[in-house]
Chain A
Amino acid sequence: TQLLEQSPQFLSIQEGENLTVYCNSSSVFSSLQWYRQEPGEGPVLLVTVVTGGEVKKLKRLTFQFGDARKDSSLHITAAQPGDTGLYLCAGVPGTYKYIFGTGTRLKVLA
């Protein structure tokens, strides 16, 4: 069974701080995606990383795919209250059934 573990599970930080969320697996994925979910809503796709070692930036968010395509990280610079939410990684094993991570719940305090 393919598993994706995220750490930390919970994170509460002050506005302006930096943070990194990790997504780890023992399995290789063809690509990996990151979603953000706000209360009462479904997850929304932020980014897809495809190539081992790939780095993608989305404003203050930086996503990296591990060289071996087994792990990924999400780094947020100067966090803002609007970044609050549940962050989910999803591994794409090459089929249409993604494997979702356990989630990281982020709260950014003003």
Chain B
Amino acid sequence: NAGVTQTPKFRILKIGQSMTLQCTQDMNHNYMYWYRQDPGMGLKLIYYSVGAGITDKGEVPNGYNVSRSTTEDFPLRLELAAPSQTSVYFCASSTRQGNYGYTFGSGTRLTVV
């Protein structure tokens, strides 16, 4: 049982380039999330999804886009990368509302130069 899988693990982008961070889960969770974690900071929510075909903005959505065509996959798209997007990105999923906790992937470390 793989849980939440993120690829790639590391990536260096040049300013203005685009890329997609992949996230897939095999737990049949309805809820999926993208967070970024900057040094010395907590987790900030970028986008989330409550099910296939439904997405919504979180706290810091600018410069990002998402789609959710299947229950399993929730890719995050960066358009026109900027140095401010240098961060570690985590995808997470949960089974339902409330107290059941998130399962996180192992993260993607992105550097924009």
Q: Do A and B bind each other?
A: yes
Binding site for B on A (CB under 8 A): 4, 9, 30-31, 33, 40-45, 48, 50, 88, 90, 92, 94-98, 100-103
4 nearest A-B pairs in the assembled complex, by CB-CB distance: A42-B104, A45-B101, A100-B43, A100-B42
Residues of chain B within 8 A (CB-CB) of A41 are 106-107
Interface size on B (CB < 8 Å)? 27
Candidates B40, B90, B102, B107; contact of A98 at CB < 8 Å: B102
Number of A-B contacts (CB under 8 A): 60
5 pairs from A and B in contact (CB 8 Å cutoff): A4-B42, A31-B98, A41-B107, A42-B107, A43-B90
B92: CB under 8 A from chain A?
yes
Query: In the bound complex, do residue A94 and residue B101 qualify as a contact, i.e. CB atoms below 8 Å apart?
Result: no
> In chain B, what residue has the closest Cβ to A10?
B40
Given contacts A33-B101, A88-B42, A102-B42, contact A96 B107 (CB under 8 A): no
Residues of chain A within 8 A (CB-CB) of B43 are 43, 88, 100
Measured CA separation A55–B92 after assembly (Å): 27
Q: State the Cβ distance, B55 to closest chain A Cβ, in Å.
A: 13
Residues of chain B within 8 A (CB-CB) of A45 are 101-103
B66: CB under 8 A from chain A?
no
Residues of chain B within 8 A (CB-CB) of A101 are 42
Residues of chain B within 8 A (CB-CB) of A30 are 98-99
Given contacts A102-B41, A103-B42, contact A96 B106 (CB under 8 A): no
Counting chain B CB atoms within 10 Å of each CB, the highest count among A30, A31, A43, A101 belongs to A43
